[in-house]
Every structure is written in C-alpha cells, then in structure tokens.
Amino acid sequence: MEFHGLKTDLYELTMAQIYLEKGLNKKAVFSIFVRNLPKERNFLVVGGLNNLLRDIFEFRFGKEELSYLKSLNLFKGWFLDWLEEFSFKGNIYAIPEGRIVFNEEPIVQIEAELPVAQILETFVMNRIHLGTLLASKAARIYSVAKGKILVDFGCRRAHGFEAANEAAYAALSTGWNATSNLEAGKIYGLPVSGTMAHSYIMVLGEENAFKEFYRHYSDKAIYLVDTYDVLKAVELTVKLAKEGYKPIGVRIDSGDIPTLVKKVRELLDRNGLQDIKIIVSGGIDEYKIHEWRDLPIDGYGIGTKFTTSSDRPYLDIAYKLVEYDGQPKFKLSEGKKTYPFKKQVYRFYSQGKFHYDFITRYGTEVEGEPLVEPVISEGILLKEFGGWKETRERFLKDFEHLPEDLKKLKKVEYEVQIDPILEPENYLPKGS
C-alpha cells in the first residue's frame, strides 16, 4: 500500500501540531488559483483534478511514514496518533478538468478542519499545478495547430515519468491524437503511436529498415527519412510504395524544414502518393507550428518543449487561506493581495463566445454559467468525472466558445470581474 502522506513540506506538519494543540481546528477554506497569467498564456485549462480526486483518499500515514516522522523528534505521540487516523473527510469544490479558466479563478477549494486543509497544501498544489501547467501548454499548441495531427513524443525529457504520464494525459485531454508513452497509454487508456529511430536505420540500412517495418506494422508504418538524405529517402519511399510497401507517412526530424517539406510533398504528389502524410518532429512548439502554418505539413511529433512547458515551466499558482471559522481571511501585501471567502465563478457569453467571468462569494446567485461544483462532500466523492475522453469533451466545448483572439499567440487579457463584496478592504478591523 502506497500512502501519500509524506508528499508534503515539513512546515505543514509542524504548524498542524500547533493548530491541534491550540484547538484551532475549526472549518477553514483554502483556495487554489493562478494570480496572473504569464505573457505566454491567454487562457488556462484545468488539469490534475481527476488525479487529485483519485489519490486524495490515499493521502494518509502508514507505519513507515509515522516511524519516519517519529525519528525527526519534532512530533508528540498524540499528534502521530492523530496522523495515523488521518483521512480526508472534508469538502472539495472545483472547476472540472478540461474547462478553460483565467486568473484569480478558484480552480480547487478545500474546506476542512484547519490542520487537515493545511497539511494537504503541498500535495494539492503540486497535482493541480502540474496538471494545469501541462493541459494549458497542450491546449495552446492545439489552438495554433488548426486540426493538424499532434503526437506527444516528450516522455524522455519530461521531469520524471510522473510528469511524462501527466503530459500524455494532458495532450489527449486537449485534442491531441496520440502519445508515444506506453506507461501513460496503459494507466490512462490513451492511444499510443510511434515511428522509428535513426539508430534503427543505421543498423538495417534505409531500404531494409522501411520494408521490415512495413512487413510488421503495415497500416501504422511511418518512415523516418532524414538519417542520410531526405529526398533520396523519399525517392526510396516512392519506389517501395510502388512495390507494395506504402507507409501512411514519412517523418522528417531535422534539416531545413520549409524547403524540405515542399520538395517532399511535390515528389510524393507527382507519384500519386497524395495520401502519404508528412510528419515533422525535432524541437517543435507552438511558435514553430504557427510559423510553418502554410507549409504542407500534416502533423507534428512534439517532445521536450511540450512536456517541460519550456517557455513557461511554472505557473504563479497559490494556495491561500480565504476563510476560517466563517470569518474572511485575506492578505493585503502589494502584488500578493488575496480575496476572502469561498467563491463561485460565473461565466457570461455573448454571440456564442465567452464575454467575461465574474467571481463572487459562493452562494451568491447570478444569471451566468457557474463553473465551480462541489465534488467531494464530507469525504464522499459526489461525482465521477470519467477519464481523458470526458475531459477532452469539456475542453473542446469550451474551446469552441473561446474568443478567437485568445487562441492566438499574441497576449490578450480576458475580462475577469471581481465582485466588490470580495474586496479585502471591506473586512479590515474598524479604525485600522
């Protein structure tokens, strides 16, 4: 049995011990949100939620975890006993995975006894941050690809296999076509695909390598054509296609892509091979895809720059106390102001597109579409969100309604209104 209880920072537990001893175990609400969208992102896509809901009930402390904590000589016996009994019995409110969100919107809100909600901080933040980071990057790539095939090739340089698997899931959740990552394929039931490596060509020689691949995987064969000379390899492909070894595509992984793909397309077409697709890989990201939008490229294998979210490898995400024992909690410090209370987000549409979002106190009824849903109540999961296919449906529906200028690479700000009743100045002690 693997428990997740140590997936946390030390201070969560040292603080929790004090909270409990002082009887500070009233209901607290913590909110996870992204304070500012970076200049490289016009929108975010909620990710990591299903993963969090799957694992939160395993955020517990078994024998090994407790014995480690005991060895630190920081925790009292009664506190370790309390941890032994720990399991999440609180409430979670969240915006479902796949939905498009913006700055300040409460992606996840944890409502529980203060020490419980505190202890979960690091775990919940890590899951939601990673999932949302990757889903948002994948969606941005999808938004410039305009229907071209997108395959995740980024497993090898992701920050560990946990990140690789979340990346593959994020890709399929936001409209991509497949991943090369087998473990992610197994865990999440994702479609997997792949081509061949340069080393394979170097060992078998180009002609043999292509023919053998076709013999084994006919309807899935994609020939890698840039090991030696792209045009010669495509001529070979034409010859083999005429002999019955016709691949579904060719892949180009290096070289002067704009020049090469035009020549390759022309060569294939001239030989009646209009249906052989051209796949490009190697250092691809949304900027390249946009730059090459008018070239005859049918799809991309996208690796490192996607799985590491390399242009922006982290989000300005926060987990902040917004309510304790019914009282508003907030921070006023410059650039780090937080709005108190458990919240709801309403979305307003105009002519079939998002018009603006409005954040208010949870429970306030407004006309728009509410985004926040209760998902766990007193430790009971209220709803099954399904897997990547359901997440993808939610994403594609939102994407259809996303204003067109937000789908571009140029920075555009979407309007997020904050209800004046959330302004922290309203709740300052009198006379301060």
Please state the closest distance from residue 218 (CB atom) to its own copies, in A.
11
Nearest alpha carbon to residue 302 among 140, 412, 431? 140
Contact status: 86 vs its own copies (CB under 8 A)? no
Q: How far is CA 149 from CA 39, 80, 144, in A?
A: 26, 52, 12
**Contacting its own copies (CB under 8 A), which of 147, 335, 363, 420?**
335
Contact status: 114 vs its own copies (CB under 8 A)? yes
Residue ranges in 205-224 that form contacts with its own copies under rule CB under 8 A? 212-213, 216-217, 220
Nearer to its own copies, 111 or 398 (CB): 111
What distance in Å separates the CA atoms of residue 392 and residue 92, rounded to the nearest whole number?
A: 22
Nearer to its own copies, 96 or 115 (CB): 115
Going 6 to 8 to 12 to 16, the CA torsion angle's sign is negative
In the shown chain, the binding pattern of residues 227 to 266 toward its own copies, with x for contact by CB under 8 A and - for none, equals x--------------------------xx-----------
Please state the closest distance from residue 282 (CB atom) to its own copies, in A.
9
Looking up tokens 């290096």 gives 254
Please state the closest distance from residue 116 (CB atom) to its own copies, in A.
13
Strand order in the sheet with 178-179: 178-179, 149-152, 299-302, 277-281, 249-252, 222-224
Q: Residues in contact with its own copies, total (CB under 8 A)?
A: 91
Identity at 359, one-letter amino acid code: I
Nearer to its own copies, 216 or 410 (CB): 216
Nearer to its own copies, 221 or 276 (CB): 221
Residue ranges in 140-179 that form contacts with its own copies under rule CB under 8 A? 153, 155-164, 166
**Contacting its own copies (CB under 8 A), which of 35, 60, 89, 198?**
198
Cβ–Cβ < 8 Å for 233, 208: no
Cβ–Cβ < 8 Å for 297, 278: yes
Nearest alpha carbon to residue 152 among 308, 41, 312? 308
What distance in Å separates the CA atoms of residue 61 and residue 64, rounded to the nearest whole number?
A: 8
Please state the closest distance from residue 320 (CB atom) to its own copies, in A.
7
Please state the closest distance from residue 212 (CB atom) to its own copies, in A.
5
Please state the closest distance from residue 287 (CB atom) to its own copies, in A.
16
